[in-house]
Structure 1
Amino acid sequence: MARISYVELPVTQIGETRDFYAQAFGWAFTDFGPDYSATTGGDVDVGLNASDDQAIAQLLPIVEVQDLEAALERVVAAGGEVTVPIFAFPGGRRFHFRDPAGNELGVCINEPE
């Protein structure tokens, strides 16, 4: 079953933002390089994205699926517009799409290394 399992936030100062959430809510983060940090163990995790090459402009909900390619086909068939084709990241692969109302979401599959 597909479900929102992740929310990615655009940030400019990853350390400052990570420290804010750690202090405000007690969240523990794992760093995935100098421009990405994420919680890893909640029902819905949070990623902090300070990347230049994979930057996002707004909050990005991520839907977790069991078959990424089949999800891509269903999104397109339903009228969604792919905005970022499938790409790999540490721990899986994902793509981004825009729904008919203009909302952008990501779809991922987790693939342990």
Structure 2
Amino acid sequence: MSSINNHINYIEFKAIDLKDIKAFYEQVFDWTFTDYGTNYTAFANSGLAGGFEKTDQMMTNGVLIVLYHKNLETVKQKIKNLGGNITVDIFSFPGGNQFQFLDPSGNELAVWCETQK
């Protein structure tokens, strides 16, 4: 699947126990998983790519919608100019770079790209 600029590309959930959450979704929905270290697992066979990040914190909203954009610096500046707030600055992960932001209503989303441009 190719990434399309400005489209929802990935969805990220939080999970207290990755082993339990993987077993649940494997058995209920036949999702498959790829582990990336001990704190993250990506899922496939779900209709939309996504993953689970391990957390010890209680969750009120455990979902992170991840958009794709080919130029993180450009879209980050647009977000700031239009009243959004950056909550996690650009960081690298296996496969690319990402940052997180709050929209003007307080919804947290993320934007990623394969390489920082």
TM-score clears 0.5: yes
The answer to whether the 8 Å contact 2:31/2:44 transfers is: no
Query: Does residue 33 in structure 1 map to residue 33 in structure 2?
Result: no
Residue 6 of structure 1 corresponds to which residue in structure 2?
10
Residue 109 of structure 1 corresponds to which residue in structure 2?
113
Change (3 A) 1:51 1:91: farther
Q: Give the counterpart letter for 1:72 in structure 2.
A: K
Change (3 A) 1:41 1:65: farther
- How many residue pairs align between the two structures? 108
1-structure distance, mates of 2:109, 2:95: 18
Equivalent positions of 1:13-92 (< 5 A) are: 13-40=17-44, 44-51=48-55, 58-92=62-96
Q: After TM superposition, give the deviation of residue 44 of structure 1 in Å.
A: 2.2
Gaps spanning 5+ residues in structure 2: where?
none
> Deviations 1:17-58 (Å, cap 9, x if unpaired)?
011111111111110001100025766212100057xxxx62
> 3-state DSSP class of the match of 2:32?
coil
Residue 96 of structure 1 corresponds to which residue in structure 2?
100
Q: Give the counterpart letter for 1:28 in structure 2.
A: T
TM-score by length of 1: 0.86
2-structure distance, mates of 1:18, 1:41: 13
Q: Give the counterpart letter for 1:93 in structure 2.
A: N
1-structure distance, mates of 2:45, 2:6: 18
> 3-state DSSP class of the match of 1:29?
strand
Give RMSD over aligned pairs.
2.0
The answer to whether the 8 Å contact 2:64/2:108 transfers is: yes
TM-score by length of 2: 0.83
